Structure 1
Amino acid sequence: MPSITPARPLPECVTRASCPECGTGLLTVRSDRKFHCACGSSVPGRDLGLNSGRVWAVTRAGHPLSLPDPAAAWQRYVAARTVMENPSKWGPELDAAHRVFLGALAELEAARLLGVQLPAGSDVQIGRVYLACVLNPDGTLSGSNASALGWPCEPCSPSATDPYFQKRYPCRNPRAHVWGQVRDWEKNLRPGEPSRYVVRAPLAPDLRTARRLAAAKCAARAAALTA
């Protein structure tokens, strides 16, 4: 079981294993490789029940977690994207594909953020927030535009003739969007002017965390260049 450290509240699809004796206690693994509860009971890992279609992870504090099997989530993700990328699909069928896509994506993001290995060939964009960053003259982060899989996205939606009725489908290509943003910004640079635009793509559960991580990386790089 992979060892992880959840930094924020657990995703909805992730559950903590409770003590089978008292039913409520939080289990913790110890050096004897058994899970112990404050009620005094101990449970070997092999005796922890796991519903079909779920896998285990263990936090660095030793608490067991269960989450949906990412292999099954990946299959649903691929099937939904196939429908979403077919321009002939619309209406209820497309709406259903969006729901499946978002549900599978949430499970895959939880697995990646909790350190559970995703299936081979999984989308590298899963779990990442892509940021088109503007740097200050000293190399620190000034501001950013963000995109991530599943976020409401106008470029990933068919263009409406009336902007009032423009829809925003779940994003499928955040990496392409932010790199396109950076290239558009660079077109306005004067000859010889250095670019102050970069892309950062941290693994992060939300935009606030992503921007904090991106700012830290920009600051570290700026410090290294001036050392």
Structure 2
Amino acid sequence: MPTRTLAPALPAAVTVLQCSECGHGTFTAGRDGKFHCSCGTHVLPSEVEMNLDSDDVWCVTPGQSLAVVTAPTVAWRRYREARTDMDDPGVWGPPLEAAHVEFRTALAELEAAQLMGLQMPHGIDVQIGRVYLTCVVRADGSLAGSEAFALGWDCKVCAPHATHGRKQERYPCRQPRAHAWGTANGWAAFRTSRDGRTDHVVSPLAADLPTARERAAAVLNARRSFTATV
């Protein structure tokens, strides 16, 4: 049976299945319902399923390679359990640190399953996979700057307030959408009308901050173009 390996272009929560015959090839989806290696070896989906752990499912990557991820239902359950512990004021110290690790791990697994196009559990948190940016927009509609929030990212708002700034901890973010809108409202309260700038929240699907900012700028440019034609 195939062996698992990481692919540099994919998240760590996705393991690509590598051919055990040639030792280096990966399997791609064929029109005959089988997965083929360039060396001539092939496997059936049923054969893959029989050798998977009960918590895993097979999938096909955007590059059409056979891969394995944690089942979305399993990751979603672990995500909710960790979130419950994080929201419990009676959980602190090592148990809270363990909940942080579990939260980030389950979140990464959910994002990987989402990227692979798997069906997500009913009622799943819509914030998963999104970066919420509070954007400062110039009078001409272009992006002047932003502050970003996303589930699982280091967040000082989600951590207890420290009396000394240098001792302020950062916890995995649990409310990125609320933080983004709270930041926008806070900025707007101190902004003068003569400044010409406005504050907006844009929430693109993105795996990292550079991609999120690029997509947010594209959204704002599209808005500017639409407004100019109206």
Q: CA deviation at 1:55?
A: 1.4
TM-score w.r.t. the length of structure 1 is: 0.89
Give a deviation string over 1:107-150, Cα, whole Å, max 9, x none: 11212233222211111111111100111222122211001111
Contact 1:156–1:168 (CA under 8 A) maintained in structure 2: yes
Deviation at 1:54, TM superposition (A): 1.0
Between the aligned partners of 1:221 and 1:137, the Cα distance in structure 2 is 13
How many residues are aligned here?
A: 220
Q: What is residue 39 of structure 2 aligned with on the other side?
A: 39
The answer for the alignment partner of 1:4 in structure 2 is: none
Give the drift of 1:195: 6.2
Show the counterpart of 2:97.
Answer: 95
Aligned-pair distance for 1:93? 1.4
> Alpha carbons of 1:60 and 1:109: their partners in 2 closer, same or farther (altered >3 Å)?
closer
Runs of 5+ unmatched residues, structure 1: 1-7
Q: Which of 170, 173, 196 lines up with 2:172 in the alignment?
A: 170
Residues 1:181 and 2:178 are matched in the alignment: no
The one of 215, 218, 221 equivalent to 1:219 is 221
Task: For structure 2, list consecutive stretches of 5 or more residues without a partner in the other structure.
Answer: 1-7
Q: Which residue of 2 aligns with 1:70?
A: 72
**Partner residue of 2:3?**
none
Q: 1:62: Cα distance to partner?
A: 2.2
Q: What amino acid sits opposite 2:116 in the alignment?
A: L
Paired residues of 1:186 and 1:195 also in contact (CA < 8 A) = no
Partner of 2:19: 19
Report the aligned-residue RMSD: 2.0
Contact 1:30-1:62 within 8 A present in 2 as well: no
Q: Is the 8 A contact 2:73 2:121 kept in 1?
A: yes
State the secondary structure of the residue aligned to 1:161: coil
**1:142-201: per-residue Cα shift (whole Å, max 9, x none)?**
211001111111111111233332211111111100100111122134469876211111
In 2, Cα distance between equivalents of 1:45 and 1:89: 42
* Aligned residue number for residue 84 of structure 1: 86
Q: Percent identity?
A: 49
Give the aligned partner of residue 139 of structure 1: 141
Which residue of 1 is the match for residue 60 of structure 2? 58
Cα separation, 1, equivalents of 2:60 and 2:198: 41
Distance 1:163 1:145 in 2: 19
Per the TM alignment, residue 44 of structure 1 is displaced from its structure 2 partner at its CA by: 2.7
TM-score, normalised via structure 2 length: 0.88
